[in-house]
Amino acid sequence: MEKLDKLDKQILKLLQKDCSLNTKQIADKVGLTITPTYERIKRMEKTGVIQNYVALLNKEKVGKSLMIFCNVSLQLHSKPLLKRFEQTVVKFDEVMECYHTAGTFDYLLKVVATDMNNYQDFITNKLAALENISHVQSSFVMTEVKYKTEIRLDY
């Protein structure tokens, strides 16, 4: 784990809320000058604390209003079959997130689609077409009660 001090965490909190802030704006908010602020950000990028900068989109406004959590069970659990499943499923544009889980199911997928027909096409022509699929259970999101991308950092 990367050792982060209070100023690093303040910088990360600001960037998680708005990554379009420039170094001067961040420096002003945390009480540093531009150079040490820039160096801290670059260090955290280099060490992988900051992985990427993104724009978060409104799913409805880009035509992807249907969100589904899809539980997948595999028939067999050999390492090559697990890896093959993972390598294939991450290439599907509909899959936003994929987690290998313990419990009743082997994988949890977060999937977005334009509508039910689009999701049915995904299930029929992509997911069900994969080898080693045993069972798929879909849960359709009716209301998004909470969504956040910010990780709380205690300091």
b/e per residue 112-142 (b: at least 16 CB within 10 A): bbeeeeebeebbeebbeeeebbeeeeeeeee
Residue pair 45/11 in contact (Cβ under 8 Å)? The answer is: no
Using DSSP's 3-state secondary structure scheme, residue 93 falls into coil
Give 150's Cβ-side CA count (13 Å radius): 15
User: How high is the mean pLDDT of the chain?
Assistant: 96
Q: Tell me the average pLDDT across 62-89.
A: 96
For domain 60-140, give the CATH number: 3.30.70.920
pTM here?
0.88
pLDDT at 61: 96
**What percent of the chain clears pLDDT 90, i.e. is strictly above it?**
96
**pLDDT per position as a tens digit, 24-69:** 999 999 999 999 999 999 999 999 999 999 999 999 999 999 999 9
pLDDT at 155: 63
pLDDT at 2: 79
Q: Tell me the C-alpha distance between 56 and 128, whole Å.
A: 30
What residue ranges of the chain are covered by domains with CATH 3.30.70.920? 60-140
The CATH class of the 6-46 domain is mainly alpha
**What percent of the chain clears pLDDT 70, i.e. is strictly above it?**
99
**pLDDT per position as a tens digit, 124-148:** 999 999 999 999 999 999 999 999 9
- For tokens 């994969």, name the residue: 130
